[in-house]
Structures are given as structure tokens and as C-alpha cells.
């Protein structure tokens, strides 16, 4: 590896570099109603920091986080919220440790008090789906087309703590999980 780098430098070719960083945000939260609420609040603040529209994204985060807290709960295990922007696509991912319980869109009766979360996600997202990871994980994701983010360079540095999120949330270089985008459930 070092020899290849040295040879490239001698030839005068610059090594490949990212021309612009991928804005991203990741946080682990407890699988409780409070954790789901915190996911929505932290996501809203991060989207505001990036200068992105809030309406659809905050509803999607709220529904996916609530599903992780209610249906994906495993005692002693957290769920992970990840947001990142590639081009004009905002991707929202919520990962929990109940890979054995895949979400299904169920159209509830008019009298029902629950069961509308994924119907809402399906209506608001351009695309959404489920990716299974290493057992026992699953990631429910949604994508929304957004205008190009108005980001400041300071907030894009890897490892930079966001002001809105505090010490538990760290922006990291985006890494797509294995199988991301596979296993699509819904598409608009």
C-alpha cells in the first residue's frame, strides 16, 4: 500500500478524494416512547441546521422511531437513528434489533387508534423499505427528495459534535450498511 502511494506521488497523480462530504447524523436511543420523541426532536434540529424542509421528514422519523420503540424493542438494546443527504436525497434510517419482525403496511379500520404509521410513511416518502443486516438487526429506511442543503463547512467535519444534539450525537462519515436499498417494501 505504501509503495502504491509513493509511486502515485512520483507520477504526479493525486489520490482520489471526496469533493464534498456527505452530511450525516447518527444517534443511539433507548427503545422507549421518550427515545422515540427524542429521535424526532434531534432529527428536527439537525434538519434545521442543514437548512432542509422539516414537515415530511420529522413525521417519518417520528413514525419509524415509534415503531422501533414499540415493535422493535429488546430489553437492553438501543435503536439507531441515521440521517444523511446524498445529492438531493435525504435518507432516514432507523435500525433496531428485531429482525424477526418486519414491518407491514396495514390499513386500519376507521375506529382503530393505531396502525397508521407506515401508511403515513408510505404517503410522505418518495421511497421506503426494509434492509436486513446481521442477525438480529433490521433497518427501516425512507428517502425524500429535498433541495440542496445549505450547510456550513464547520458542521460537516467528521466527528464534529452538533450543537443541537449535545454530547450523545456525533456526526460521522456516512457508511451505508450492507444490503442498504435491498428488500424494498414500498415505493411511491
pLDDT digits (tens, 9 = 90+) for 133-149: 888 889 999 999 998 65
- CA 111, 115, 116, 122 dihedral sign is negative
- The three cell numbers of residue 52 are 432542509
The DSSP H or E segment spanning 61 is helix 55-70
Q: Which residues of 69-90 are buried (b: 16+ CB within 10 A; e: fewer)?
A: beebbeeeebbbbbbbbeeeeb
Report the chain's mean pLDDT, rounded to a whole number: 75
User: For the chain, what percent of residues have pLDDT higher than 90?
Assistant: 44
CA pair distance 104, 64, nearest whole angstrom: 12
pLDDT at residue 5, as a whole number = 36
CA pair distance 140, 94, nearest whole angstrom: 5
E strand map for 60-137: 79-86, 89-96, 127-132
Query: Are the C-beta atoms of 144 and 126 separated by less than 8 Å?
Result: yes
CA pair distance 53, 62, nearest whole angstrom: 15
pLDDT classification of 89: cutoffs 50, 70, 90: very high
Cβ contacts of residue 150 below 8 Å, gap of 6+?
50, 51
User: 151 φ, ψ to 5°?
Assistant: -100, 145
Q: What is the pLDDT of residues 19-65, one digit of tens each?
A: 668 889 999 999 999 999 999 999 999 999 999 998 999 999 999 99
Cβ contacts of residue 23 below 8 Å, gap of 6+?
50, 84, 85, 149, 151, 155, 156, 171
Query: Are the C-beta atoms of 85 and 22 separated by less than 8 Å?
Result: yes
CA pair distance 70, 64, nearest whole angstrom: 10
CA pair distance 128, 112, nearest whole angstrom: 24
Amino acid at each position: 500500500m505504501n509503495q502504491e502511494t509513493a509511486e502515485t506521488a512520483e507520477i504526479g497523480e493525486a489520490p482520489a478524494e471526496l469533493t464534498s462530504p456527505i452530511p450525516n447524523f447518527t444517534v443511539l436511543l433507548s427503545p422507549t416512547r421518550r427515545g422515540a420523541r427524542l429521535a424526532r426532536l434531534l432529527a428536527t434540529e439537525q434538519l434545521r441546521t442543514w437548512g432542509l424542509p422539516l414537515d415530511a421528514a420529522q413525521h417519518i422519523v417520528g413514525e419509524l422511531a415509534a415503531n422501533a420503540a414499540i415493535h422493535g424493542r429488546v430489553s437492553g438494546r438501543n435503536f439507531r437513528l441515521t440521517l444523511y443527504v446524498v445529492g438531493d436525497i435525504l435518507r432516514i434510517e432507523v435500525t433496531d434489533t428485531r429482525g424477526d419482525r418486519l414491518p407491514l403496511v396495514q390499513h386500519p379500520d376507521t375506529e382503530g387508534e393505531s396502525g397508521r404509521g407506515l401508511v403515513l410513511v408510505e404517503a410522505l416518502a418518495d421511497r421506503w423499505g426494509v434492509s436486513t443486516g446481521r442477525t438480529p438487526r433490521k433497518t427501516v429506511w425512507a428517502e425524500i427528495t429535498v433541495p440542496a442543503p445549505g450547510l456550513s463547512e464547520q458542521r460537516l467535519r467528521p466527528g464534529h459534535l452538533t450543537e443541537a444534539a449535545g454530547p450523545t450525537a456525533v456526526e460521522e462519515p456516512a457508511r451505508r450498511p450492507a444490503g442498504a436499498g435491498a428488500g424494498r417494501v414500498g415505493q411511491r
